[in-house]
Structure 1
Amino acid sequence: METKKKLLDIVRDKIRFKHYSYSTERTYVHWIKQYIFFHNKKHPIEMAKREIEEYLTFLATKKRVCPATQNQAFNAILFLYKEILGIDTTEWNIQALRAQERKHIPVVLTKDEVQKILENMHGIYKLIVTLMYGCGLRMSEVLNIRLKDIDFGFNKLYIWDSKSLKDRTVPLPLKLKDELIVQIKRVEEIHKKDVADGLRGVYLPFAYAKKYPKAKIETKWQYLFPMNSISKDPRSKEKRRHHIHPQTLGRNIKVAAQKANLNKRVTSHIFRHSYATHLLQAGIDLRSIQELLGHKSVETTMIYTHIVSEMNKAKLISPLDF
């Protein structure tokens, strides 16, 4: 007799069917579980607009979560109703008390500050951060680069399935060309040993592994920045060599910023902000920067014009100094 699947297992299956990332899977499952627990484990099919509004309001007023966190929870619940329960929530017009959203101008580094941080980094982490700044990449984008994504012939880098779901290319920094060639050779040697040790290959996106079963052991599909150790895939449980962990990279960036004695809050994303700002300062037009960053709307890119405007204000002097 076939046992009936649990709700959260159905959610996981649907997320994987739609090719969402593992981090999205964990996030959605977490919030759906919290939503159900908040209402004393009542089944979602027995709940609707009022229960959703109560939970979102609770997150804003009692838990005091930030707007992004509340939106995460909201999106997870909407996914549950639309994709799992087959219920259209658009007519519900959900009016929960939303977490107060503040508009922040991104913090950026000067070119000298970027250089100071890089001087305090070494090895593969220095190369990763340099590439991240040199191409304006998100952390997830730089860590997911495969060997096949680098085109030395046309000096460009391919970015696939980014956050905006928009593929793009960016110019490859010529200063990094030799280092990247050395890194590729290093990856080739690592992969050669992995194959000899019997590893079943790298993780492949979407249904590519089923369509091309041999691709996962092809050299071109290996990550440019692999981990030193072998890890277990949380979904398939297969042992394979994944890319460097985001937390490890973030930790190295934090340590380098501390050594550089910078008072600014330095995260991986600050290099992307700095890239865009420095291009704008160099006279690159906004539309080109939008394409390089992979923004869907130019309005998102326009935040960097405000940054440059603030920098120009800093050059003004007080009437006392006339």
Structure 2
Amino acid sequence: MSFDQFHLYVHKLQPNWPDSQWSCIWMRRMYEFWKHPVDETLAIDRERLVSFLRHLKSKGVPPWQRQQAAVTAGRYQTMISGEIDPAIQEVVRTLADLAAAQRNGDQAAAEKENHFPDNEPEVVSEMRKTLRRRRYKYDTEKAYVGWVIRLLHFCPNTSPAAITESEIRNFLSSLVTNESGGVSASTLRQAKSALLFLFQQVLGRELGFLEHSEATKPKKLPVVLTRGEIASIRQGLPKNKRLMLDLMYGGGLRHKECRRLRIKDLQIEEGTILVRDGKGEKDRITVLPQSAVADVIKKIEECRTRHQRDLERGEGEVHMPDALARKYPSESRRFGWQWLFASPKTRTDPRSGRHWRHHVSEDYLAKPFTRALQESGCVKNAVPHSLRHSFATHLLEDGADIRTVQELMGHADVKTTMIYLHVMNRPGLSVRSPLDRLNRDNEEAE
């Protein structure tokens, strides 16, 4: 098999993907490294591949690029013999773990996260282990595992390794064409990513271009509440839930960001909130509403009292980021790291199995918010995240600069922020309906 044949193979396998481009680059470099004629088949085994990878490492090539080279070798083997040598697949996995650890954090922390649900399919447990080694977030783990379990239910009589590409395509298409109206484009992308991770990263199988039905659900404008509606909903919430609403609406926080606030993130003297590890693993600073400061201070003192009781019982520990947990093992008991909205009860961590205090769950505000929304008489299909949309829209209505709103919201692209211009009560200039002008002219004529 010549280099030209490999070039045709990868472009057929993944048309218009960047993968096919870098696969050809690495394949040519292997031919050049072993001084092999490009019109002849190149024999690649584990020993030869490792020698090439060591050469790359000596040249300062990072793990993620060495992983690309190893993946290319596996694809070349698949083209020749129809399967990848398990020894080469193991090299690919090792480099993938190294690359992910370098990118996402301390890989050694995964060794402590050895707690798995009972009676789970073996392939799902293996997927969890791979996700944890590569430091994927727990929300991603839950989502990916959920899609894999749905695929296994879709193909109940087939082992995971034997599921064909045709069955995978049928499963993805079924998500779009089901009776409930189908999933959105973003949900379909998530499902596809989960299945690609399973087959390529866990099972070591190359998948071709997955042609399936595309999602047809259109993008919708965000639901924005008026100031009066927010005031009515706020009044209908229990007092212990109002502070969360105040911070989400007053600072433009996502629901998850608000639940994960730590005591040290509230910079009261500066009048700011430090949002750590937000969407896209980005940090940002947003405004702390002055009208909420007194309630924040009261909440912090309540947390201090509870934390002191936890310490007296030998508890008081919370989850810490990987590197900090390793470097400062005692920090997890310090007051500044405690959750502002801590759960009333301690519970077992689903990954490590350790018993500590977590932040409140999503339902803590979601269910009371829904009840308060109904009691207020508002018929909009709003959820707690609508408070963030309302924050951005009301700032723009009050004349805030769109770049400032972009930074407060943590948007990477100003185009994302500009969507709120479409839902403002007074978009752009003060536009009046032509019907109002017609009626006014008629009244003046009379």
TM (norm. structure 1) is: 0.90
**Identity over aligned residues, as a percent?**
33
1:270 partnered with 2:380: no
For residue 36 of structure 1, report the CA deviation from its aligned partner.
3.1
1:194 partnered with 2:310: yes
Q: Which residue of 2 aligns with 1:138?
A: 254
User: Which SS does the other structure have where 2:269 is aligned?
Assistant: coil
For residue 94 of structure 1, report the CA deviation from its aligned partner.
2.1
Structure 2 residue runs without a partner (length 5+) = 1-120, 442-446
In structure 2, C-alpha distance between the alignment counterparts of 1:208 and 1:10, rounded to whole Å: 27
Higher relative contact order (CA 8 A, sep 6+): 1
C-alpha offsets along residues 167-198 of structure 1, whole Å, 9 cap, x if unaligned? 11112112212221111111011101011112
User: Which SS does the other structure have where 1:242 is aligned?
Assistant: strand
Which residue of the other structure, out of 132, 136, 139, is the alignment partner of 1:16?
Answer: 132
Larger Rg, first or second structure (1 or 2): 2
For residue 163 of structure 1, report the CA deviation from its aligned partner.
1.6
**Greater CA deviation, 216-225 or 36-45?**
36-45
Q: Which residue of 2 aligns with 1:147?
A: 263
Q: Which residue of 1 aligns with 2:197?
A: 79
Which residue of the other structure, out of 101, 104, 116, is the alignment partner of 2:232?
Answer: 116
C-alpha offsets along residues 264-288 of structure 1, whole Å, 9 cap, x if unaligned? 1221111001000011111222222
Q: Relative to structure 1, is the Cα distance of residues 263 and 82 closer, same or farther in structure 2, using a 3 angstrom cutoff?
A: same
In structure 2, C-alpha distance between the alignment counterparts of 1:269 and 1:85, rounded to whole Å: 37
Match runs of 1:236-247 below 5 Å:
236-247=352-363
For residue 211 of structure 1, report the CA deviation from its aligned partner.
2.8
1:305 partnered with 2:442: no
In structure 2, C-alpha distance between the alignment counterparts of 1:260 and 1:21, rounded to whole Å: 37
1:167 partnered with 2:286: no
| More helix per residue | 2
Which residue of the other structure, out of 65, 68, 85, is the alignment partner of 2:182?
Answer: 65
Which residue of the other structure, out of 344, 353, 369, is the alignment partner of 1:253?
Answer: 369
Q: Which residue of 2 aligns with 1:51?
A: 167
In structure 2, C-alpha distance between the alignment counterparts of 1:144 and 1:35, rounded to whole Å: 32
* C-alpha RMSD of the superposition: 2.3
In structure 2, C-alpha distance between the alignment counterparts of 1:147 and 1:178, rounded to whole Å: 14
In structure 1, C-alpha distance between the alignment counterparts of 2:347 and 2:431, rounded to whole Å: 49
1:282 partnered with 2:398: yes
C-alpha offsets along residues 70-106 of structure 1, whole Å, 9 cap, x if unaligned? 33321211222343234565xx332210221212111
**Greater CA deviation, 42-51 or 287-296?**
42-51
The amino acid of 2:189's aligned partner reads N
For residue 206 of structure 1, report the CA deviation from its aligned partner.
3.1
Q: Relative to structure 1, is the Cα distance of residues 310 and 196 closer, same or farther in structure 2, using a 3 angstrom cutoff?
A: same
Q: Which residue of 1 aligns with 2:439?
A: 320
For residue 131 of structure 1, report the CA deviation from its aligned partner.
0.6
In structure 2, C-alpha distance between the alignment counterparts of 1:205 and 1:317, rounded to whole Å: 57
User: Which SS does the other structure have where 1:265 is aligned?
Assistant: coil
For residue 200 of structure 1, report the CA deviation from its aligned partner.
5.3
Contact 1:160/1:166 (8 A) holds in 2:
yes
The amino acid of 2:338's aligned partner reads Q
Structure 1 residue runs without a partner (length 5+) = none
TM (norm. structure 2) is: 0.66
For residue 128 of structure 1, report the CA deviation from its aligned partner.
0.5
The amino acid of 2:381's aligned partner reads R
User: Which SS does the other structure have where 1:56 is aligned?
Assistant: helix
- Alignment coverage as a number of residue pairs: 316
User: Which SS does the other structure have where 1:58 is aligned?
Assistant: helix
